[in-house]
Amino acid sequence: MAIVINAVSLTVAALIILKWAAQIWLERLNLKHVRAHAGAVPDAFKEVVDEGTYRKSVEYTLAKGKFDQIETTYQVAILLLILFGGVLPWGFNLFAHSLGTSAWVMGIFLFAVGLALSLPGLPLAWYDQFKLEERFGFNTSTQKIWWLDRLKGLLVGIVLGYPLLVLLLKFVDWTGSLWWLWAWAALLAFQTIMAVLAPVLILPLFNKFTALPEGSLRDRLLKLAEKTRFRARSIQVMDGSKRSRHSNAFFTGFGQFRKIVLFDTLIQQLAEPELEAVLAHEIGHFKKKHIPKMLAMSALASLIGFYCLSLFAKQDWFYGAFGFAPGGNIAPALLLFSLLSGLVTFWFSPVTHWWSRRYEYQADAFAAEAMDEPRSLLGALRKLNEKNLSNLTPHPIYSSFYYSHPTLLEREQALLAG
């Protein structure tokens, strides 16, 4: 396994290190900003959290930030080793010489590489769950549940991911130079089908869903759905508490399969009017057509990605920069492109997050209008930030790169101004 070094590989390595440096700088910038506000509770949050909770949220943010720096550095080191240590071409040649280069074999190769790349991250993921999250009282998972989740995820990947990989590779043989367009269409169709089937077939493999019991909360939520003309098949409670004390709410599925899902932890943490406001916010996303808009943008981004991949796949220097024989099978190009795409998408994060935050403001405004007052949503947001020990004072540049939702203060100001 020879180490690969040429102008292209040096450029790629430099871009990887540049991204890593930016991530570390952002983390340190944010931690410095948090420490600067770590004394008394800032005036803007005195009605939100008490001093003890605020101090704990600062400690949680600092601990997560330090851990993220270690994790980022570790991941970059693994990526550099994988890309330039000759491991990938060695594995590809092993498969090709032993089993051939059919789409079925190359699908196994890509899946095996993906599985192998996930293994180095397991110790850090385990530490995050059972040490860091445990330290701050969030972890409720057991070793059995944690490992079973990963086994189930692997099996789902084999059943669904492997055939999809084979199909994408088959399009190269079937459709010639336009393979990338057919592959994109197949991926889009797969994602659409999974949006319908996942709530029914996949999510129940990981969590238990039960109908929200008869009572005032159910009546309140159904009345809200009727008022906002939001049709849902059911309102269900998910046992999120078996893994974490973090909470959430969402709706999933399309058409007659659409259902509202509340984490059991959310029901435990919020009063009924606050739960109604949270649901109104989620309905706001639906009514404002945020989900199809974001899916359309995602589809456009993936179309551009497939087109760029088709261009790179024609370049001998792209293969040679990482030790692969030029031309021939497209599987190495697909693998390399997936590993390197983050070098581009990372820098667009502020744009995509600005777009996402804009939608959150709109959903908040819809919820306040549906409730005829903003107080319930404000109460829910405050409690959720308190219970989740959210960072109340992130640095603006950091939040632009990593926050898909506005900060609590930004959301409060927008709600009260509206």
What residues does 235 pair with on adjacent strands?
A: 260
Question: Cα–Cα distance between 158 and 82 in angstroms, integer?
Answer: 23
Question: Cα–Cα distance between 374 and 417 in angstroms, integer?
Answer: 10
Question: Cα–Cα distance between 11 and 83 in angstroms, integer?
Answer: 13
Active site residues: 282, 364
Question: Cα–Cα distance between 170 and 106 in angstroms, integer?
Answer: 10
Measured between its terminal Cα atoms, the distance across the chain in Å is: 62
Question: Cα–Cα distance between 71 and 2 in angstroms, integer?
Answer: 27
Three-state SS sequence of the chain: CCCCCCHHHHHHHHHHHHHHHHHHHHHHHHHHHHHHCCCCCCHHHCCCCCHHHHHHHHHHHHHHHHHHHHHHHHHHHHHHHHHHCCHHHHHHHHHHHHHCCCHHHHHHHHHHHHHHHHHHHHHHHHHHHHHHHHHCCCECCCHHHHHHHHHHHHHHHHHHHHHHHHHHHHHHHHHHHHHHHHHHHHHHHHHHHHHHHHHHHHHHHHCCEEECCCCHHHHHHHHHHHHCCCCCCEEEEECHHHCECCCCEEEECCHHHCEEEEEHHHHHHCCHHHHHHHHHHHHHHHHCCHHHHHHHHHHHHHHHHHHHHHHHCCCHHHHHCCCCCCCCCCHHHHHHHHHHCHHHHHHHHHHHHHHHHHHHHHHHHHHHHHHCCCHHHHHHHHHHHHHCCCCCCCCHHHHHHHCCCCCHHHHHHHHHHC
List, edge to edge, every strand of the sheet that includes 249-252: 209-211, 234-238, 259-263, 249-252
What residues does 249 pair with on adjacent strands?
A: 262
